[in-house]
Structure 1
């Protein structure tokens, strides 16, 4: 049985180059057809992108992925399938990198990362999709900037965006979901 490789770009398994067809249908598509398909993807809502993911990857889309990430991964996979994926030398470099990070060394690195102690440095941009719109918040020296306003906490930014009280770090994905639920909130 053929050994499967981990693709770092999509996090999905792929077959070794010898087992792949260069193009899914055996012939190179025109550049326009790939562009047209990606343009069509841009017009899809979250549900449409989830359905397209199912068609491309033959499995349901991960529930935590935002519209932006679904679009990016699907667009990459469509281009790679039709125009060719990473070359053999690049795959070897990626395989060596993954091999160095696997096992106890990687577990130790992950264990040392504590979400609750992550410091946000000025200039960091936090992105959250809310109500089908991408919300971008910049970390500044004295707080957070969003929509031309300055806020002293992420929770106040989350309230300004949603109209509902949220734990700001949780809203922006910096903390895991805790046991308490927020009444009336929607993802």
Structure 2
């Protein structure tokens, strides 16, 4: 376990270094932030950016470099949302009324990360499940699958991801036949 403790200590040290550097950025004027941008990011800062925006972006870049950036799927989702927003604005600027754009569905989840909380109300009671590296914790017990948790909560067989809203609900037929 010394490796884990050493990693935790290194992360805490990196966080405190980043915190100090961000605090120092707050004392800089616009010219100072532009200079720091060139030093740290090895590129010219966008000239139209205000001091506040430069400060925020530079702080984000410093944190991402020290502590890790967004994963690829999250970055793609954010880019897609930004493109959709720009498209809507362009449509509104042309003065046309557009139909409401369909919501962008979230990307398929490759898996739940440890620490994620899943909340579901069933029979008037709120149930919170914590995703762990080795399973799912609910009311002090650990289960190997969400389906086991759902079965324990409901007393019947359930698809666990569907019960906790992680999968689409099945399409309901309109009942027009036979």
- TMscore range, shorter length: 0.3 to 0.5
Q: Which has the higher helix share?
A: 2
What is the TM-score normalised by the length of structure 1? 0.38
What is the TM-score normalised by the length of structure 2? 0.40
| Bigger relative contact order (CA 8 A; separation at least 6) | 1
